[in-house]
Structure 1
Amino acid sequence: MALQWMILTYVVAAEAALAFILTLPSPKLLKSRLVSLVSLILQPALFVVPFSAFQLLDIYWKNEHRLTCTSEICTATERDRYEKSIHKAERNVILCVSAILLYWCIYRICKFYKELQNLEEVEKRYKDQ
C-alpha cells in the first residue's frame, strides 16, 4: 500500500512542477513548444484521475469499516494507533484531491494557451487582409 501513495506523491510533485513551469513567463517559442510537449503528456497522464478516485473510494471504504476506539476500554496505544490512522487517511485524501485538481489545472492551462494561439492566428489573418 505504501508504494501506491509514494507513486501518487511523485505524480503530484511532477504535476506541481509542470504547473509552475507552465505559468512562468517565457518567450513565445519556448512556451509554445513546452505547451505542445505537455499536451502530448496529458493524455497518458490521465491515469492519475481514475487512480486517485479509486484511492479515494478505498479510503472511504476503510473509514466506514474502521474499528472505532472512543470508549474507555481502549488503551493509550490503541487510541494513538486510531488517531494516527485517521491523520494518515486525511493526508491521503488531500493527496488524491490535489492530484486531480493539478491535472485539471494543467489541462486548462494548456487548453487556454492553445485557444490564445488560435485567436492570435485569426487576428493575424484579419490584419493581413
Structure 2
Amino acid sequence: MALQWMILAYVVAAEAAIAVILTLPSPKAIQSRISSLVSRIVQPSLFIVPFSAFQLLDIYWKSEHRLKCSGETCTAAERSRYERAFFKAQRNVILCLAACFLYWCIYRICSYHKEIERMEEMEKRGKEE
C-alpha cells in the first residue's frame, strides 16, 4: 500500500513542477513548445484521476470499517495508533485531491495557451486582409 502512496506523491510533485514551468514567463516560442509538449502528455496522464478516486474509496472504506478506539478500554498505545492512522488518512486524502486539482490546472493552462494561439492566428489573418 505504501508504494501506491509513494507513486501518487511523485505524480503530485511532477504535476506541481509542470504547473510551475507552464506559468513561468518565457519567450513566446519556448512557451508554445512547452505548452504543446505538455498538452500531448496531459491526455495519457488522465489515469491519475481514477487512480486517486480509487484511493479515496479505499480510505473511505477503511475509515468506515475501522474499529473505533473510544472509551476507557483503549490503552494509550492503541489510542496513539488510532490517531496516527487517522492523521495518515487525512494526509492521503489531501494528496489525492491535490493530484486531481493539479491535473485540472495543467489541463486548463494548456487549453488557455491553445486558445490564445488560435486567437493570435485569427488576429494575424485579420490584419493581413
TM over 0.5: yes
Question: 1: distance between equivalents of 2:101 and 2:72?
Answer: 41
| Deviation digits for residues 67-98 of structure 1 (CA, Å, limit 9, x no counterpart) | 00011110000000000000000000000000
State the aligned residue count: 129
Q: How does 1:9-20 map to 2 (within 5 A)?
A: 9-20=9-20
Unmatched runs of 5 consecutive residues or more in structure 2: none
Who is 1:57 aligned against?
57
Partner of 1:68: 68
Over 6 Å off, 4+ runs: none
Residue matched to 2:104: 104
Question: Which runs of 5 or more residues in structure 1 are unaligned?
Answer: none
Q: Name 1:2's counterpart in structure 2.
A: 2
Whole-Å Cα distance in 2 between the matches of residues 108 and 43 of structure 1? 12
Q: Hey, what does 1:35 align to over in structure 2?
A: 35
Deviation at 1:43, TM superposition (A): 1.1
Aligned to 2:125: 125
Percent same amino acid at aligned positions? Answer: 70
TM-score scaled by structure 1? 0.99
C-alpha RMSD of the superposition: 0.4
The two structures have a TM-score, normalised by structure 2, of 0.99
